[in-house]
Amino acid sequence: MELGRVLTRESVLDSDNRGFEVEEPCEASELEKQKAVTAIYNILSVLTFHSESTGRLVCGKRCSLTGTGLLGSSLNISLGRIKQSFVLTDPHLPDMPIVYASDAFLKLIGYARHEVLGRNCRFLSGADTDSTTLFQIKESIRNEQACTVRILNYRKDKSSFWNLLHISPVRNASGKIAYFVEVQIDEGWKDQDGQGLSPEIRRLGTVGAVKVAVRTTSMGAGPSKS
Ligand SMILES: Cc1cc2nc3c(=O)[nH]c(=O)nc-3n(C[C@H](O)[C@H](O)[C@H](O)COP(=O)(O)O)c2cc1C
């Protein structure tokens, strides 16, 4: 059954006044569709985590979201190797939800993975977030362009923080936009590890690593977004 169509049960009486139930198709609301997408993400992220952490198959299969429009397990594994703070959103799903969130990103915002997968990033903005900056992000997405902005965001505990973020489209092997990635740029950077990598170089490295992961998996068994 497609996501937008649901069956409703309705009790009716037949000619002998006996009650029976009929199922009628009806259109799901945007909220119901969003809830369904979130529920699917939560279930699949638990299965994928189980599959990755134990190396075991789920129901006789390697846990893969291929074909459902969600992230494949090989892409999940490749992204898991990137340690920086970033999220991936899927513009092909209703309201462009988060389909991947790195551990560093979750640590920064104080939410658990299942609380963010399936949601649009706007839950991070709040009362004092500058609407002009939000509009700037929206326009960049609409024009399929990269942007870097500094925006006031809120953690789960409601504390605010300045989020210096870079958003960029991510293309698959056939050149179509498959995802958008957001990478956090560390403003409080100090060259503590002696590697001398500036935040800009790190940002480029993270975006590059995500793009390579998406392109490589889309050449193989990953979802082909067209
Ligand atoms: C990849 C990506 C990451 C985003 N990250 C953030 C974020 O960290 N904080 C934020 O306030 N908005 C973020 N946004 C912007 C929101 O998702 C949304 O586009 C913005 O709130 C404007 O749209 P709206 O007016 O429909 O809410 C991100 C968008 C994308 C595509």
Give pLDDT tens digits for 125-147.
999 999 999 999 999 999 999 99
Tell me if 170 sits within 8 A of 178, measured CB to CB: yes
Tell me if 90 sits within 8 A of 135, measured CB to CB: no
Kindly state whether residue 173 falls inside one of the protein's structural domains.
yes
**Residue 129 CA: which ligand 1 atom is closest?**
11
Burial class from Cβ neighbours inside 10 Å (0-12, 13-18, 19+) for residue 8 reads: exposed
Parent domain of 33: 24-219
Which CATH number is 176's domain given?
Answer: 3.30.450.20
Kindly state whether residue 14 falls inside one of the protein's structural domains.
no
Q: What's the gap in Å between 52 CA and the centre of ligand 1?
A: 29
Q: What's the gap in Å between 21 CA and the centre of ligand 1?
A: 44
Kindly state whether residue 145 falls inside one of the protein's structural domains.
yes
Kindly state whether residue 8 falls inside one of the protein's structural domains.
no
Kindly state whether residue 19 falls inside one of the protein's structural domains.
no
Q: What is the pLDDT of residues 85-124, one digit of tens each?
A: 999 999 999 999 999 999 999 999 999 999 999 999 999 9
Q: Is 150 helix (H, G, I), strand (E, B) or coil?
A: strand
Query: Tokens 């198709």 sit at which residue?
Result: 25
Kindly state whether residue 181 falls inside one of the protein's structural domains.
yes
Q: How many residues does the chain have?
A: 226
Q: Is 29 helix (H, G, I), strand (E, B) or coil?
A: coil
Kindly state whether residue 12 falls inside one of the protein's structural domains.
no
Tell me if 148 sits within 8 A of 185, measured CB to CB: yes
Kindly state whether residue 28 falls inside one of the protein's structural domains.
yes
Mean pLDDT of the chain, nearest integer: 81
Task: Provide the domain count of the chain.
Answer: 1
Stretch 60-80: mean pLDDT: 65
Q: What's the gap in Å between 58 CA and the centre of ligand 1?
A: 33
**Residue 165 CA: which ligand 1 atom is closest?**
8
Q: What's the gap in Å between 13 CA and the centre of ligand 1?
A: 50
